[in-house]
Structures are given as C-alpha cells and as structure tokens.
Chains A and B, each alone.
Chain A
Amino acid sequence: MIRLSIPVRQALSKLTLPVLMAAAFGLMLLGKADALLAERARMAVSDALAPIYGVLAAPLSSVRATIDNMQHMLTLFSDNARLREENERLRKWQAVAMTLDAENALLKANLRWVPDPTPSYVTSRVVADAGGVYARAVLLSLGPNHGIMKGQIALDDRGLVGRVTEVGTRSARVLLLTDINSRIPVVMEQSRARAMLVGTNGPRPRLLHWPEGVQPAEGERIVTSAEANAFPAGLPVGTVRFTASNVPEVQPEARLDRLEVVRLFDYGLRGALAPESPNRAAERRR
C-alpha cells in the first residue's frame, strides 16, 4: 500500500465523491451514446443471475401456488357456480366451433388453400421481473444454445406477452406490451379496422390511431396485425375496455402480472424490431 501523508489522504477522500458523481454523469452519457454497451453490461449481469433465479423460481412459484389455493378455498362455492354456468355456455360454443371447423376444412379443401407453416417455438421460464420504475419487462432463463433472436414473439397460454428485446447467452429479456415504449399494430376483430396498441406502463395499454368513422366497441377482441411485418396476423392480444373518461384501453389476454412460462415463437419476421431500451426508443422517435 502506498503511504500518503494525512492531508493528502484527506484531500483524496474528499475528492472521491465529486469525482464519482462526475463519473455517474459520464456513465449516463456513455449509456446514451452507446446503448449497445449498456445492453451488453445488462445482459452480462442477467446471464450471471438467471441460473440462480431459475433455481429460486420453482420453490417460489410453489409458495405462490399454495397461497393461491388457500384463497381459492374461500371462494369455492361461488367459483363452482360460476364455472358450471360458464361450462354450460362453452359447451354451446364448442358445438358451434366444431361445426365451423368442419366447414372451414371443407372450404379450404375446395379452394386448394396452402396452409401457413407452423411456427417453431421454444418454451422458457420467466425467472425475474426485469423492469424498473419506468419499464415493464421480464427476464427469461434459457439453455446455452437456445437460438433465440431479437424480435421473436412471446406468448403465454392465453395471448400476446411482448417481444424479445435483448438476448444473452443464458437469458433474454422480453419487453411487455404494457411497457411505455411498446407499439404494436393491431386489428379490431369486428370492424377489421387497424389501430396501434400503445403501452403506458400501467396494466392496460391504450388503443390509438384508429381510422375515422370506426369506433372501438366495449368488449371487442383485439388481435395483432401483420402490418410493418413485425407480427403475424391474428394473435390474440386482448379486449377493449373503456375507462371512466371514455378512453379505449385494452385488457391484455395474457396474465402479465403473473407470468411463469412463456413460449417464444419464431415467425421469421424481420420487420420493425422491438425497441431495445428506453434510451434507444426515444432516439428512434425523434
């Protein structure tokens, strides 16, 4: 250790804080100028942590499941009645669906319809909420040779979750559709009108830019649009809900607040890529 005189040492220790504060500003500028560097640093940390969180995820989810079960015990009777009623309704729909399916197959056979190729997908576990105060994202734990690429589409068992924005060697980040930087081209299912789904960081993204003369209807289903070649057409996104101030929002079909497993689909689309980080999205908007 270098021996310094006491005044020099005191002066040095007084200097550390201002110097490091300047370094923090430098870091901000660096992160802004070279978003790739920041992204690499982030993914290095995520890669290191993903296996640990992967181990933690299983017991934690079982604890959560136990708590859920206890809550369900309390509402057993009302749930049962509701499910019976719902089952009854769904049985009718099942009959309709089967008729339609048969009819669809028949018509397709007559039209020499070329079916869409089945996309390949990888299932992976959500190991951490990787958002922040101003972001909505999740961290996925992946195997070493996963072949996941930026822009792949994440779905849970019910609907669209978001897009892969950062890929590391053992982990990947998925930007959720509720993130403030998320923009998803969608179609309203009944009116077939196109619109944009814009994240707000809140639980429900907002519906914007629909054409004149069309009004989104309460409860209308929203699916993705193939516009901009970023999504395949027809993935379920959610349903329209109007707020008290009459702004149309979309209640996502996917359970974004309790994601455990997502499927990453490769549709081979290389259109508009997902925003990488808040910094870069802002740059693109300019």
Chain B
Amino acid sequence: MSDRLPGIRPRQNILLRLDGFARYSFPAAATVLLLLLGAAPLGLPGQAQLLVATSLACVFFWSLFRPSSMAPPQVFLIGLLVDLLGFAPIGVNVLSLLSTHGVAMLWRRFLTRQGFFLVWLAFVVVAMGAALMQWLMTCVLVLALLPPWPVLFQAALAGGLYPLLAVLLTRAHQSLGQADGT
C-alpha cells in the first residue's frame, strides 16, 4: 500500500503496521459488526429490512469516501453475510451490494465534491434500484411473483436510515484520517 506514495515517512514498525491495518479494515469490520448486531433479537418491527438497509447504507458510504477499504472483495463478503443471516436465496444481496458499490464508484468523482443533500438523494436512487433488483432476482430464483412492498419498504427505510448512519460514519471517517493511503 504505502509504496505508492512518495515522501519521507517513519520506518515501518509493527505498531505502525498494526495501526495502519486497523484503520484500513475499520469500515468493513464495523459494517460486519453492525450487521451482526442488527440480526440480534431486538424485536424491532421490520428488522429484516433494517439489516439489508444498513448494509446498503454502509457499503454506499464507504465506497464513496474510502473506496480502498471497501473494495469489491469486502463488499462481496458483506453481501454473503447478509444472505446467510437471512433466508433469502443466496447471492441476491451479494449482487445488489456489488452493484451499489459499482454505482458509487462511477459517481464518486462527482458526488464526493457535493454537499450532503445530493449524496443522500443519490443514495435514495441507488437504494431504490437495489431494492428493485433484489425483488426481481428473488422472483426469478423462487419462480413466483412476490409482492414488491417489502423491498419498497426496505428502500424507504434505507433512505431514512442514511442521514443517521452518515453522521456516525462521517465522524468515523474523519477520525480515521488519511492513514490508509487513499
């Protein structure tokens, strides 16, 4: 990682490496932890949708603002975890999260220079697309026409959840600094 950047830096010792690794792996690790917590028996209404919505918001945020820490392999594993935690056909969330990541990377240049509101709007569009994609894939895999309301609710939930999560994640993003070479 670090040999990409020129300049003088302190010699790599084990602590610095550990620190760098912790900063590098924080986004994915925090997302996984949040998902495991979200699958706990909280007894919230719409918890299944909340789980997927959280994964979408986290992947979108980190793909935009710290793409080196939320690379496709991490997104893949997070999607797999969401699929295994739920009862949905395996692979559906993997695909929708990878697409979310792809769209975030495409819009990244433009979006990271915009204010919060536009990013939020973009996320709502992405969440809607991801929900429709999930619905379509689930329908195809189960070979039945399922009602689209649950995923639409999920998209709305994701949109509502994003500002809340963004506040937390932005703070984390700032305190992580620029240590991982992005």
Contacts and interface: CB of A to CB of B under 8 A. Distances in A.
Contacts of B154: 133
Contact of B87 (A52, A60, A132): A132
Contacts of A20: 72-73, 75-76, 98
A279 B94 CA distance: 17
Interface stretch (B6-14, B19-27, B40-48): B40-48
Contacts of A137: 87
A133 B151 contact: yes
Given A20-B76, A21-B95, A28-B92, A131 B39 contact: no
A16 interface: yes
B88 A27 contact: no
B138 interface: yes
Contacts of B137: 28
Contacts of A38: 90
Contacts of B138: 133-134, 278
Contacts of A25: 91, 95
B90 A132 contact: no
A24 interface: yes
Interface of B: 36, 39-43, 45, 47-49, 52, 71-73, 75-76, 79-81, 84-92, 94-95, 98-99, 101-102, 105, 134, 137-138, 141-144, 146-147, 150-151, 154
Nearest to A37: B90
A23 B75 CA distance: 12
Contacts of B134: 133
Interface of A: 13, 16-17, 20-21, 23-28, 30-32, 38, 41-42, 45, 49, 52-53, 56-57, 60-61, 64, 126-135, 137, 173, 180, 201, 257-258, 277-279, 282, 285-286
A26 B48 CA distance: 24
Contacts, number: 136
Contact of A53 (B41, B89, B102): B41
Contacts of A128: 39-41
Contacts of A173: 87
A278 B140 CA distance: 12
A218 B134 CA distance: 38
Given A24-B91, A31-B91, A278-B89, A258 B43 contact: yes
30 contacts: A16-B72, A17-B72, A17-B102, A20-B72, A24-B91, A24-B95, A24-B98, A25-B91, A25-B95, A27-B90, A28-B90, A28-B92, A30-B90, A31-B89, A56-B40, A64-B43, A129-B47, A129-B48, A132-B52, A133-B151, A134-B138, A135-B88, A173-B87, A180-B146, A201-B147, A258-B43, A278-B138, A278-B142, A282-B141, A285-B143
Q: Which 7 A-B pairs have the closest CB atoms?
A: A132-B86, A135-B87, A28-B91, A31-B90, A27-B91, A24-B94, A24-B95
